[in-house]
Structure 1
């Protein structure tokens, strides 16, 4: 049926170039930055994934990271009819196991990393890794692009000698393959600059982003563009012009208080750790404050791990609600606090908006507040009810309110 669906929408097998991005963290950012890059290079692009589906900058919300098999083909046909020559699709482990994208002849696949997530579905990390690997084994790929800094990625690079390796200081072992190696990173107040060596040449790239993980994201995007024949100097120009992905290390600065809020989707221990490390690199002075929660009816084992990461990477931990679903929010908080060595020092403020308002009023000058877990999402789930809420909208309203007050005072 899945193959019939593809044949129905593409009877001449004339599907445009489709790139798959899989891994635990980084899928959305890479998909967005790659779609953005193609647009800057003059090619109409589309993307499918967590923050929505559609032509770049015209996304419609999606219930799942990876759509069902019929919807995938229908969407791809729609993008092609609108002139898209590139679609970048986030591919989830669920989507792979359930065969939702089995009919799609991907041209390129990118692997970001594999860290703890979705064990409520897969059961073990081994099963989770096997699900991801089917993308690299069972599709007619022309290019495999794999993170050499990830342990699973290193194993796969040994298995696929024609794969492109990317990473930060990855060493000489991968230079026998096509590679993109970031050799030095400078952390700037408003972004990054990094030096690289690659199979295609060496140079320097700059961008308006924070963190080593975004260095890796840009390296992956560069590899995809290079494999597609884009010239290195054109890629360097594009990287400096990319825009921040909604809800991915997105900054809101309050000049009056001299406090920066950063909204990020980090909802796994590894992602939270990466986000906090990124902010430590970039902060000039002040504290790092970690605000996060954990979803109900999901992997309970990661709750204390998230707490431990937050306590190690931040000066202050604030526990809030994520999506409690059918669980009691206070019990989720207790599971989280079990991972803290000093739980008495953590603040518990269940309502996220209340936590933001409290920190805006009580944080110190030059503090950086990381609001983790929700990112681009504009809802919370309590029981069987979906309630509208957005960290981004809350901060946007507060920034606007402060600007109005400043203008009135003037």
Structure 2
């Protein structure tokens, strides 16, 4: 694909290029560059990609992407390949990747929040599969579908990786994809160019402040999913019990998104948004009995998941499935067949005394509190 062809629909504004080379690939890691690649020299919080331009060129890069400062001094004289100097090179890189790897599953749901993302995308994938869809999920646990499980290095991978996988999944007949949208990934524009039509929000608590600096900036990164990434009008599935629900509602109203609220409190949203409510949750030795309400209907269902917080994750997945056309009854009935996620309140065995042994990935204070409270909810003592 010619560079100008790649740029045509990728929000790239650079002009007066000295050449129009064929582009055979894209990467922001100079070590992965091969002959004919475009190298994105991106500045990070710890590493400046412009320091690796010489390495990329020595490996055969035929075009460069960087910020508007471009190349100056001796560096400029030594570079003869086209240089795309963009005001937002990370966003441009994502859109270039989307153009280079055309083809995406027609239905893509993205999920953000501090805790619960991995569970929600897994549950949604299973609901889709149980209702006749060919579905996959992408996130912390890797790329998973009925036919494969492929590990990935990041919750939200590099744009070239994401769009390469989306094109491959589309060609393989996957029609529905659930993807985790981490705060890092959103802040760094990694999923820009992904045709998200449904988006979910789980919860917010203190996390990744070493990167974002403040809770406000952390939340702002998450809000990008609804404010900038998801196509308008889309469908937002929001945790009604979250402290930032009103802020998210305001963003979604501005963008004309349809909103489905969910939560553990039984109430109808006074702003005329749809509501999914957890009417009752009863612990069983190795699962939960849930009563779920929506639009004057209520359904009871047994699930083989431990922890009341998993009920909230299920409600989010049900809301996302409904947003994508699965009827309420069918979505709720499907969760009776859902299996838990690896490393998320996962029963791995019993001790010599008969005590159950669980593994959980809890890595924030709130997640650890939820994990311990989940076990007490079921077993007491």
Q: TM-score, normalised by structure 1?
A: 0.66
* 1:117 and 2:207 matched: yes
1:58 CA drift (Å):
1.8
Task: Tell me, in whole angstroms, the C-alpha distance in 2 between the residues paired with 1:107 and 1:130.
Answer: 20
Cα deviation code 1:214-243 (max 9, x no counterpart): 110110111111112212222232111011
Task: Tell me, in whole angstroms, the C-alpha distance in 1 between the residues paired with 2:344 and 2:294.
Answer: 27
Task: Tell me, in whole angstroms, the C-alpha distance in 2 between the residues paired with 1:57 and 1:265.
Answer: 25
Task: Tell me, in whole angstroms, the C-alpha distance in 2 between the residues paired with 1:148 and 1:235.
Answer: 19
Q: Which moved more, 1:201-210 or 1:261-270?
A: 201-210
Match of 2:342 in 1: 246
* 1:43 and 2:43 matched: no
* 1:16 and 2:106 matched: yes
1:57 CA drift (Å):
6.0
Match of 1:262 in 2: 358
Q: How many residues align?
A: 283
- SS of residue in 1 equivalent to 2:281: strand
Within-5 A mapping of 1:94-113: 94-113=184-203
* Structure whose alpha-carbon radius of gyration is higher: 2
Match of 2:73 in 1: none
* 1:146 and 2:230 matched: no
1:23 CA drift (Å):
0.6
* 1:130 and 2:226 matched: no
Match of 1:280 in 2: 376
* 1:63 and 2:159 matched: no
Contact 1:49 1:65 in 2 (8 A): yes
Task: Tell me, in whole angstroms, the C-alpha distance in 1 between the residues paired with 2:220 and 2:336.
Answer: 36
- SS of residue in 2 equivalent to 1:130: helix
Task: Tell me, in whole angstroms, the C-alpha distance in 2 between the residues paired with 1:204 and 1:154.
Answer: 29
Which ranges in structure 1 are unaligned for 5 or more consecutive residues?
A: 287-410
Match of 1:237 in 2: 333
The 1:184/1:9 distance shift into structure 2, 3 A limit, reads same
Task: Tell me, in whole angstroms, the C-alpha distance in 1 between the residues paired with 2:250 and 2:291.
Answer: 25
1:257 CA drift (Å):
1.3
1:255 CA drift (Å):
6.6
- SS of residue in 1 equivalent to 2:244: helix
The one of 23, 48, 53 aligned to 2:143: 53
C-alpha RMSD over aligned residues: 1.8
The 1:175/1:212 distance shift into structure 2, 3 A limit, reads farther
Task: Tell me, in whole angstroms, the C-alpha distance in 1 between the residues paired with 2:308 and 2:268.
Answer: 20
The 1:157/1:282 distance shift into structure 2, 3 A limit, reads same
Within-5 A mapping of 1:255-404: 256-284=352-380, 286=381
* 1:25 and 2:115 matched: yes
Contact 1:47 1:56 in 2 (8 A): no
- SS of residue in 2 equivalent to 1:163: strand
Contact 1:149 1:170 in 2 (8 A): no
1:119 CA drift (Å):
0.3
Q: TM-score, normalised by structure 2?
A: 0.71
1:56 CA drift (Å):
4.1
